[in-house]
Amino acid sequence: MARAAVLGRLTWQLGEVAELIQETPRVSSLVLDVPDWPGHLAGQHVDVRLTAEDGYQAQRSYSIASAPESAQVTLTVERLPDGEVSPYLVGELRTGEKVELRGPIGGYFVWRAGDERPLLLIGGGSGIVPLMAMIRHHAATAAAAPVRLLYSSRSIEDVIYKDELARLTADDTGLAVAHTLTRSQPAGWEGYSRRIDGEMVAEVAWPKKDAPAVFICGPTAFVETASSLLVESGYDPAWIRTERFGATGG
Amino acid sequence: MRQSDLKLDGNAIAGLLREIFTMEMTNAESTCAGCGKVHAVGRVDVYLNAPGVVVRCPACEQVLMRIVRGRGRYWIDLTGTRCLEFKE
Amino acid sequence: MAFISRGFRGKRRDTASGSRVPPGQHVVDDFPVLSAGPTPRVPLSEWSFSIVGELDEPKTWTWDEFRRLPSETVSVDIHCVTKWSKLDTSWTGVSVETILEGVETAADYAVAYCDGGYTTNLPVDDLRGRQAWIAFEYDGQPLDPEHGGPARLLVPHLYLWKSAKWVRGISLQAEDEPGFWESNGYHNRGDPWREQRYWGD
């Protein structure tokens, strides 16, 4: 499966929306049935292409949120207010309709359950999506590596997968989650309440002697801040893999 | 939109590179012809909001690749990449 | 054949100005930021504009000297090769005609060069005749760095990649020398009305 997932010519195929899950006010998951899906790795993405009746096309990349063990392909999409593709995927597309995609794509920002190094995941906003595929992969395989997630959101309403993360933490799968809410916090909030900084990273990250595997995903500025903080704290840059989410028109 | 968000990384062109090379290229190692630093393609700086794709060295910002697609053709400039190493 | 996504139109809007929009273009209301690299930030005290190459004596203006040149405000339509057009955009700048006043040159070609290393080539004829400007204001405000400030070339009758952002000078040349995009697939002249997008168009 892994081999099929990374080799060969890409072709466009159709996925049918089996389910739409509203994750937050601005974020929805599209659960897709994709015939002949070759399987994927945790962290990979797909390209989605929309075509208008007059032939106009728009294409964007979306991370896969589902574990490789899942039969369906789940994309979690944030609706960008000025976006072109995301408002269609989150808002226009209905259950039972089809969408054109190709993938899975990517091999750099990928975590495999056989990797026994402690895992540090740092996500900003919808940058959680490929990290969630890793967390789900970790849980589905009962992987040995302990996992720490540092997850930055604007407010509690913006936390994607909140209940599932809480459940996986309680289920003793080896996952520990630290949330930070940068704009507003609910009454009695016990997590962090600020942008990611050196003190926060020092508290959450594995000690450098553990030589962890690190995956950071989020907006470009967030990713650059998080990776610099880790390198400044003594992490080897070679441990760190990053993926930047950008506003390429949404 | 923040300017910094226009700078993505090689993960964002994994699909395009697979069209061209017909294999997964984000794990390939690219050597900058300018400063000689080696980076995984997944790690390099990528600018997509342009007439073509511009790939730059994260260390020295020199152009590593320019990729233009149009009229059913590709134009690929690898002048700034001294070497691209990847598994068969 | 691509699958048609029911109800998908994209961000394009209908326009009644069909005759003002070149083939293959659609009108946008916003001003998309295109970027092929980091945005250069040069203090005005270090900024200068030069005419170099095939002329007797290279000419250079500091920012203050440049701003003392006669400027004009123009309203033009701009057309990006990525298929958006923006109508009635207002720019203030110094015409290249003004800058080339008194310059004796036999050069037929020009290369605009910029902070950040970008270049674009044009026939000198496309720069003369009050159809090209070194623009420093957009919509009455200092030009935003994301849109090429402090100053950019503005050549609205050609695709917008010719309107080089962060321009610092023009090199006058006897030989044509394809620029950043012209050397890698994009058309050497780039007339939007003839849809000269790529090599061979």
- Distance set, CA B47 to CA A125, B27, C162 (Å): 21, 19, 18
Let me know: does C69 contact B40? Beta carbons within 8 Å.
no
Let me know: does C193 contact C22? Beta carbons within 8 Å.
yes
- Chain B contacts of C146, Cβ < 8 Å? 3
Question: pLDDT value at position A5?
Answer: 47
Split at pLDDT 50, 70, 90, the class of C12 is: confident
Shortest CA gap C161–chain B (Å): 8
The string of pLDDT tens digits covering residues C173-197 is: 999 999 999 999 999 999 999 999 9
Number of domains chain B contains: 1
Shortest CA gap B46–chain C (Å): 8
Q: Which residues contact A208 (CB under 8 A, 6 or more apart)?
A: A233, A234, A235, A236
- Chain B contacts of A108, Cβ < 8 Å? 10-11, 14, 26-27, 40-43
Q: Could you tell me the two tokens for C151?
A: 């100053």
Residue type for position C56: D
- Chain A contacts of B15, Cβ < 8 Å? 10, 47, 61, 102-103, 105
**Subunit partners of chain A (3 or more CB pairs within 8 A):** B, C
What is the arithmetic mean of pLDDT over A59-78? 97
A12 and C8: CB-CB below 8 Å? no
* Domains of chain A by start residue, with CATH: 2-105 (2.40.30.10), 119-245 (3.40.50.80)
B47 and C33: CB-CB below 8 Å? no
A242 and B19: CB-CB below 8 Å? no
What is the arithmetic mean of pLDDT over C154-178? 98
Question: pLDDT value at position C79?
Answer: 97
Q: How far apart are CA A210 and CA B22, in angstroms?
A: 37
Q: Dihedral sign, CA of C164, C168, C174, C180?
A: negative
Q: Is the pLDDT score of C168 beyond 60? A: yes
- Chain B contacts of C39, Cβ < 8 Å? 3
Half-sphere exposure of B51 (CA within 13 A, CB side): 24
- Chain B contacts of A10, Cβ < 8 Å? 15, 18-19
Q: How far apart are CA C41 and CA B47, in angstroms?
A: 18
For chain C, positions 112-141, list CB contacts with chain A under 8 A. none
Half-sphere exposure of C155 (CA within 13 A, CB side): 28
Closest CA to C136 of C172, C90, C170: C90
Split at pLDDT 50, 70, 90, the class of A1 is: very low
Q: How far apart are CA A185 and CA A211, in angstroms?
A: 33
Which position has the higher pLDDT, B44 or A173?
A: B44
The string of pLDDT tens digits covering residues A192-213 is: 999 999 999 999 999 999 999 9
Q: Which domain holds residue B72?
A: 3-85
Q: How far apart are CA A52 and CA A84, in angstroms?
A: 12
Q: Is the pLDDT score of A241 beyond 70? A: yes
A100 and C9: CB-CB below 8 Å? no
pTM summary value: 0.93
Split at pLDDT 50, 70, 90, the class of C17 is: low
3-state secondary structure of B4: helix
Q: Is the pLDDT score of C169 beyond 90? A: yes
The rounded mean pLDDT for chain A is 94
What is the arithmetic mean of pLDDT over C95-108? 95
Closest CA to A73 of A5, A139, A9, A155: A5
Split at pLDDT 50, 70, 90, the class of C9 is: confident
DSSP string, C46-65: G-EEEEEESSSS-EEEEHHH
What is the arithmetic mean of pLDDT over C121-128? 97
Interface test with C, best of A30, A50, A248 (most C CBs within 10 A): A50
The string of pLDDT tens digits covering residues B54-76 is: 999 999 999 999 999 999 999 99
Q: How far apart are CA C32 and CA C146, in angstroms?
A: 10
Could you name the CATH architecture of C44-194?
Answer: Alpha-Beta Complex (3.90)
Residue C97 has φ and ψ, to the nearest 5°, of -55, -45
Shortest CA gap C105–chain B (Å): 32
CA closest to B26 among chain A residues: A108
